[in-house]
Amino acid sequence: MYQALYRKYRPAVFADVCGQEHITSVLKYQAENGRVSHAYLFCGSRGTGKTTCAKILAKAVNCENPVGGDPCGKCPSCRAIDSGNATDVLEMDAASNNGVDYIRDIRDEVAYTPAMLKKRVYIVDEVHMLSASAFNALLKTLEEPPEHVVFILATTELHKLPTTIVSRCQRFDFRRISIPVLSERITHIADVEKIRLDPDAAQQIARQAQGGMRDAINLFELCSGGGADVTLDRVHAVLGLSGYDSLYNTALYLAEGNMKKLLAAIADVAASSKDITVFWQELTAFFRDMMVHKYADDPREYLDLTESEANLLKDAADRFNIKTLTYQSAILDQSAQAMQRTPQMKRTIAEFALMRMCDPALDTSAEALNARIGQLEDRLALMEIGSAVPAASRPPVPDESAPKEITPPVAEAPVSAPDPTRTDMEFDPVEDVSEFLEKLGTIDKRAESFLSDARISVSADGKSVSILADNEFSAQMLSADSVKVSISRALTLCRIANPDAQITVTTVKTPTAADPAAEDLYSKI
């Protein structure tokens, strides 16, 4: 007889429960030392191990040959509980048995000693579904039950329980299981079942499980149906997911304002087996990831992404400002709610939402106005960086009212850019560049990134600056005229060099001259 994988691989001892070590260690200690409480409350989201731990605890307190707090699984008591034939272990679903009469029957039964086992264990699942009168009937019994009775209450909605019930139980909060733990577990199951499972596919399944082990195993079983190899493409096809590349492309189309490609993307989703609602949820999560990337120093601490996905996210996030992301995220949320109200219109809702996201001028709300202001600020900043010249370096305006002096022409020697390789010019390295990089970041964020690993030296008179880039590409970008203007301004604000200082960029190998194409390439990055 076929058995579902989540039942086949249900943990038999506390050590097999994944991701809940803070709970299993306490329960194991209590079972081993005979300090089991009369009432427990297990709360947490679905599939995190509440019922599993309840059954293991029921076996541990009744096991005839316990092994360090764990049930042996071989004695008659353990086998009876596993097979469901133990009359002294009662598992009830409060969702279907929530009346006061059922609780009164339990209250009357607890007075009798167990028929087969050491203790009578009541496992009440979804206990928050009990009626108010049922809770009142349970209170006294729950507070002072006989020594041979153990109550284990489980719920996914703790806030619905009366405080009088919670205060009478030992409460354990089951956490959502992390993606690496879920991925490792389904990989182990795949190895035992001899099913090929790609690491990227395992991570995607774990991500879709949202912290539930049962959901992760069920999704893996679904994707491996028919004995198929579980690849990333297989997961996307079976679960109706779009994939990170598709979300990245959608973000790029939004940044470019390319409504034609956005409409084509929605048409592709509608024509495939994928649900637009699922695609919309993934797109909303992608925008959330971009917001996290804007604020977090290391986004990968908060986001479970592969290296390639992290690179795509960074590139997409750099194309938006915070105000625009906030505005577009609000539209995504509003549209998701509209899709729930009228699911038959979800394609139309998605298309109209993308139009508003592409062009905030179509929206008259305060959020749209704020997004438009943010876009204007970005454009003005780019224009200022590209055209501004430090005031100190501009030639003085001649005074027309002053008498003009006629002076004989003097032959001027040709002026050449300072050569940092000259031995007759002393350059002192700038030891602390943190303030300079901070100033430069406010003027030109991309210039700051190219200078992050460079070495900066300034001549004694402050009129020459030598920048030693760590690679030729960075040197080429730093040689652009608009970048040098930004660097000069930041150096002046930090009093590192004169406003009219000559800036020379070199690499470890050879000096790099300013390339006219570098300006155009820098503007496209």
48 pLDDT more than 70: yes
The residue-averaged pLDDT of 51-70 equals 91
| pLDDT over 70 at 150, yes or no | yes
The domains spanning 5-174 and 244-367 adopt the same CATH topology: no
Give residue 382's pLDDT band: very low, low, confident or very high (50, 70, 90).
low
Please tell me the predicted confidence (pLDDT) of residue 469.
80
* Per-residue pLDDT at 388: 45
The pLDDT score that the predictor gives to residue 305 is 79
Contacts of 186 (CB under 8 A, 6+ apart): 197, 202, 205, 206, 216, 217, 220
CA distances from 517 to 154, 290, 450, 524 (A): 67, 31, 17, 11
Q: Which fold has domain 5-174?
A: Rossmann fold (3.40.50)
- Rounded mean pLDDT, 192-206: 90
| Percent of the chain topping pLDDT 70 | 84
Residue 363 is predicted with a pLDDT of 63
In the predicted model, what is the mean pLDDT of residues 203-220?
Answer: 90
Single pTM value for the model: 0.62
Contact partners, residue 468, CB within 8 Å, separation at least 6 = 454, 455, 456, 457, 506, 507, 508
Topology, domain 179-239: Helicase, Ruva Protein; domain 3 (1.10.8)
Average pLDDT of the residues in 463-477: 81
The lowest-confidence range among 56-60, 356-360, 513-517 is 513-517
**CB of 449 closer than 8 Å to CB of 485:** no
What pLDDT digit, counting tens, does each position of 300-324 carry?
Answer: 777 877 778 888 888 888 888 888 8
520 vs 525: CA distance, rounded Å: 9
Measured distance CA(148)–CA(195) in Å, rounded:
45
- pLDDT surpassing 80 at residue 369: no
Are 478 and 450 a contacting pair, CB within 8 Å?
yes
- The arithmetic mean of pLDDT across residues 160-183, rounded, is 91
At residue 26 the predicted structure's pLDDT band, cuts being 50, 70 and 90, is very high
Lowest mean pLDDT among 139-143, 186-190, 427-431: 427-431
74 touches 37 (CB < 8 A): no
**Mean pLDDT of all residues in 14-26:** 91
CA end-to-end distance (rounded Å), the chain: 60
With a cut of 80, say whether residue 118 has pLDDT above it. Answer: yes
Domain assignments of the chain as residue spans, ordered by start: 5-174, 179-239, 244-367, 427-524
CATH class of 427-524: alpha beta
> Can you tell me the distance from the alpha carbon of 368 to that of 233, in angstroms, rounded to the nearest whole number?
37
Q: What is the pLDDT of residue 392?
A: 42
Nearest alpha carbon to residue 476 among 500, 511, 445, 442: 511
| Helix, coil or strand: residue 521 | helix
Average pLDDT in the 381-403 region? 47
DSSP for residue 391? G
pLDDT in the model for residue 349: 93
With a CB cutoff of 8 Å and minimum separation 6, the contacts of 236 are 204, 242, 243
Point out the least confidently predicted range of 199-208, 422-431, 505-514.
505-514
Instruction: Select the more confidently predicted residue: 355 or 426.
Output: 355
Q: Taking residues 293-302, what's their average pLDDT?
A: 80
- The answer on pLDDT for 27 being more than 90 is yes
**pLDDT computed for residue 415 by the predictor:** 39
Q: Does the structural domain 244-367 have CATH classification 3.30.70.1350?
A: no
Look at residue 109 in the predicted model and tell me its pLDDT.
86
Residue type, 508: V
